């Protein structure tokens, strides 16, 4: 069994992944870390600046393809893992990535109140700027229903510590 975390940036996917890994002794695989590694340490914002969002989304897909036969991992996915771009550059549901994720394991959506998300991501230079074309609130409004439809389990992190989140997740998973 694999455990997959999805949700907006700042929701707590990486922190909860680490806490869960310590509890159940599963290794963490981070799609963003793999992309940085496979590109010689180039930060994601720089990769997108040098290439494109479409190229970045294609890299995410290629990583998921490599993970298709994985078992016993925690997948810490980037906030846009469920998306590709249409011909006009707009985000659309990535059927190809969602298919792999559903086959790969149990999908957990971590949510957080919008104000908290903004505080957590504001000024973070390690993440690409989502707001160049649209406000973060607009992006989230479109992404949230996609996250919710993809998830097997939803957990709002707004009033939870990472340890409390892990307790709820392990209870839900029965482990």
Within 10 angstroms of residue 63's Cβ, the number of other Cβ atoms is 23
Cα distances from 136 to residues 7, 119, 131, 142, 144, in angstroms, run 14, 12, 6, 10, 12
Question: Which residues does the annotation place in the binding site?
Answer: 10-15, 32, 57, 79, 127, 143
Question: Which residues does the annotation place in the binding site for ATP?
Answer: 10-15, 127
Question: Which residues does the annotation place in the binding site for Mg(2+)?
Answer: 14
Question: Which residues does the annotation place in the binding site for substrate?
Answer: 32, 57, 79, 143
118: nearest Cα among 16, 12, 10? 10
Burial 22-38 (b: 16+ CB within 10 A, else e): eebebebbbbbebbbee
């Amino acid at each position: 069994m694999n455990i997959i975390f999805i949700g907006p940036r700042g929701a707590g996917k990486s922190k909860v992944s680490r806490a869960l890994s310590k509890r159940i002794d599963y290794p963490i695989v981070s799609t963003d870390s793999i992309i940085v590694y496979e590109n010689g340490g180039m930060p994601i914002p720089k990769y997108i600046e040098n290439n494109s969002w479409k190229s970045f989304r294609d890299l995410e897909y290629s990583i998921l393809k490599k993970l298709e036969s994985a078992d016993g991992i925690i997948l810490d996915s980037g906030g846009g893992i469920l998306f590709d771009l249409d011909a006009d550059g707009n985000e659309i549901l990535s059927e190809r990535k969602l298919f792999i994720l559903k086959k790969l394991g149990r999908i957990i959506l971590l949510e957080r109140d919008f104000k908290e998300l903004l505080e957590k991501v504001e000024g973070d230079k390690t993440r690409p700027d989502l707001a160049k074309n649209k406000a973060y609130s607009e992006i989230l409004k479109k992404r949230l229903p996609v996250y919710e439809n993809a998830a097997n389990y939803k957990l709002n992190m707004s009033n939870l510590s990472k340890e409390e989140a892990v307790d709820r997740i392990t209870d839900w998973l029965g482990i």
